[in-house]
């Protein structure tokens, strides 16, 4: 009896060992997926160098430069006394509009880099704003500061920060107070030069009762487009044909509509929520980090790309192998068949090769087509091989059908964006439940006897007859 139990235990241990060994090809496929993901990242970076990368827009900012002219007492070491010396200091006021409306219409396309298709976008951006005339009048009326220094105002300008100005497709014109002004390269900000600016000259010569401005420009980018909400009341409306947006930053859309045809989103942000004026003041003093970090935006992502789907499917590889081996073992128990460990190994390898086929095919054709071809090829191979292993076409067909159903369920799981883990957990639970129900009446001691009876009988060696 002990020898019989030992035979059953040895069989189970061998099956488990084979399953663990088959983790090696699965790990190799996983490494290959990570390599391909790295190649994709390198291709994306290469396209970004010639196209443009992520874009962030900070606009519009009214910049009023001024010069402080005065005197101050400093210690003269030679004269050994305090002396009065003149000074001139350059500074600027950074002013936000009263209201800002930004409308973004984004069209997504793709650029090829080898076998990789890199998504890029071109956005048409329209900006309308109303400047705070009362605040401007108050600033322009200032002639001296509290320390007695005189103030000399210099020509003002509208500054627009753009993270990668290579993406600006056309030079826009600024309409302000019923006048038209040209934009020039550079934001003209000391700490952040990327962008463009429009010189508007002496503000006193403008109609301060009508300080409405507007301009539009086309901006190319990749993956993400972000805006800093500059204004007391900022409204941003964005739409695109991209069906998988991810909203980033400190503010989420107040209105949102997403479909297969794209998305539409709208933000409403007030200066109470953004604390934008303090951030502009800090930027005017040379510290723009807080301003640039207060952006909101949209990231155009592949919700479930081919590499992520391949990676998800590989994680279920050991489950497939384990379920197939369990089914084989049950056939051995119920139908009293003998399946050799090498046959277990070959079946496990055929399941493992599915993931490599899937990865290689999905880089050239649609993922669903690649999945269908790879699964059909592996199921057909298994059905052919199992016909000889299980000694029955019906048994082989049933096993192939079960594996085919598992492949179909796996596709649904890996295609899900939000419920992949829940569906995977449910699949494992359901399969375990089925196995426990099917094997609930099996007498495992009797199984040992049956396996022992199937073992080949040892024939004692007979000595050959002596030949004279």
> What DSSP string describes 16-74?
HHHHHHTHHHHHHHHHHHHHHHHHHHHHHHHHHHHS---EEEEEEEEEEEEEEEEEEEE
Q: What is the pLDDT of residue 303?
A: 60
- Retrieve residue 156's tokens: 């003002």
Whether pTM > 0.75 for this model: the answer is no
Q: Is the pLDDT of residue 458 over 70?
A: no
Q: What is the pLDDT of residue 15?
A: 82
Confidence of residue 79 (pLDDT cuts 50, 70, 90): confident
62 with 131: CB under 8 angstroms? yes
Q: Is the pLDDT of residue 454 over 60?
A: no
For residue 433, give every residue at least 6 positions away whose Cβ sits within 8 Å of its Cβ, in sequence order, or none: none
Q: What is the pLDDT of residue 418?
A: 63
Q: What is the pLDDT of residue 468?
A: 41
Q: What is the pLDDT of residues 112-131, one digit of tens each?
A: 777 777 788 999 999 999 99
**Rounded-to-integer distance, Cα 168 and Cα 166, Å:** 6
Confidence of residue 42 (pLDDT cuts 50, 70, 90): confident
Q: What is the pLDDT of residue 255?
A: 94
* Least confident segment among 3-7, 167-171, 437-441: 3-7
Q: What percent of the chain has pLDDT over 90?
A: 32
**Rounded-to-integer distance, Cα 125 and Cα 165, Å:** 14
* Residue recorded with tokens 């439940």: 433
Specify the higher pLDDT residue, 4 or 291: 291
Specify the higher pLDDT residue, 214 or 386: 214
By DSSP bridging, strand 55-76 and strand 224-229 are parallel
* Least confident segment among 92-101, 185-194, 316-325: 316-325
Confidence of residue 4 (pLDDT cuts 50, 70, 90): very low
Q: Mean per-residue pLDDT for 160-182?
A: 91
Q: What is the pLDDT of residue 455?
A: 53
**Rounded-to-integer distance, Cα 233 and Cα 268, Å:** 7
State how far Cα 449 lies from the chain centre: 56
Q: What is the pLDDT of residue 57?
A: 95
Q: What is the pLDDT of residue 146?
A: 67
Q: Mean per-residue pLDDT for 293-319?
A: 80
Q: What percent of the chain has pLDDT over 70?
A: 89
Q: Is the pLDDT of residue 295 over 80?
A: yes
Q: Mean per-residue pLDDT for 92-108?
A: 94
Q: Is the pLDDT of residue 451 over 60?
A: no
Average pLDDT, the chain: 83
Specify the higher pLDDT residue, 387 or 332: 387
* Least confident segment among 54-68, 118-132, 333-347: 333-347
Q: What is the pLDDT of residue 183?
A: 94
Q: Is the pLDDT of residue 459 over 50?
A: no
294 with 276: CB under 8 angstroms? yes
Q: Is the pLDDT of residue 313 over 90?
A: no
């Amino acid at each position: 009896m002990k020898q019989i139990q030992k035979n059953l235990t040895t069989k189970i241990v061998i099956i488990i060992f084979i399953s663990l060994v088959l983790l090696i090809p699965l790990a190799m496929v996983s490494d290959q997926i990570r390599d391909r993901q790295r190649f994709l990242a390198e291709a994306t970076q290469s396209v970004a160098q010639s196209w443009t990368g992520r874009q962030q827009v900070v606009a519009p900012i009214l910049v009023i430069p001024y010069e402080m002219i005065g005197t101050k007492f400093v210690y003269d070491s030679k004269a050994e006394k305090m002396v009065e010396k003149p000074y001139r200091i350059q500074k600027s006021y950074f002013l936000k509009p009263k209201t800002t409306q930004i409308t973004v219409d984004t069209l997504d396309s793709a650029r090829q880099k080898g076998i990789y298709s890199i998504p890029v976008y071109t956005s048409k951006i329209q900006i309308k704003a109303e400047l705070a005339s009362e605040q401007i009048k108050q600033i322009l009326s200032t002639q001296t500061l509290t320390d007695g220094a005189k103030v000399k105002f210099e020509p003002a300008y509208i500054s627009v920060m753009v993270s990668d100005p290579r993406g600006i497709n056309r030079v826009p014109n600024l309409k302000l107070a019923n006048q038209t002004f040209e934009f020039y390269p550079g934001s003209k900000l000391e700490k952040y030069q990327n962008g463009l600016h429009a010189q508007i000259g002496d503000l006193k010569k403008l109609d301060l009762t009508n300080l409405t401005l507007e301009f539009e420009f086309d901006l190319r980018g990749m993956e993400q487009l972000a805006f800093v909400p500059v204004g007391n009341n900022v409204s941003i409306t964005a739409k695109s044909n991209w069906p998988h947006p991810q909203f980033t930053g400190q503010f989420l859309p107040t209105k949102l509509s997403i479909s297969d045809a794209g998305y539409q989103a709208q933000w409403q942000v007030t200066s109470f929520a953004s604390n934008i004026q303090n951030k502009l003041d800090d930027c005017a003093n040379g510290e723009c980090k807080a301003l640039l970090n207060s952006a909101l935006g949209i990231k155009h992502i592949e919700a479930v790309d081919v590499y992520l789907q391949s990676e998800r499917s590989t994680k279920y590889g050991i489950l497939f192998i384990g379920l197939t081996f369990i089914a084989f073992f049950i056939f051995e128990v119920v139908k009293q068949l003998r399946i050799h460990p090498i046959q277990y190994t070959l079946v496990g390898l055929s399941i493992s090769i599915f993931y490599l086929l899937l990865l290689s095919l999905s880089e050239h054709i649609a993922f669903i087509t690649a999945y269908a071809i790879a699964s059909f090829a592996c199921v057909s191979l298994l059905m052919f091989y199992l016909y000889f292993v299980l000694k029955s076409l019906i048994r082989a067909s049933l096993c192939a059908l079960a594996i085919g159903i598992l492949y179909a369920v796996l596709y649904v799981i890996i295609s899900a964006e939000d419920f992949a883990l829940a569906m995977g957990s449910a699949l494992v639970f359901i399969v375990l439940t089925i196995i426990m129900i099917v094997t609930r009446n099996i007498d495992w001691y009797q199984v040992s006897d049956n396996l022992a009876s199937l073992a080949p009988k040892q024939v004692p060696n007979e000595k050959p007859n002596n030949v004279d």
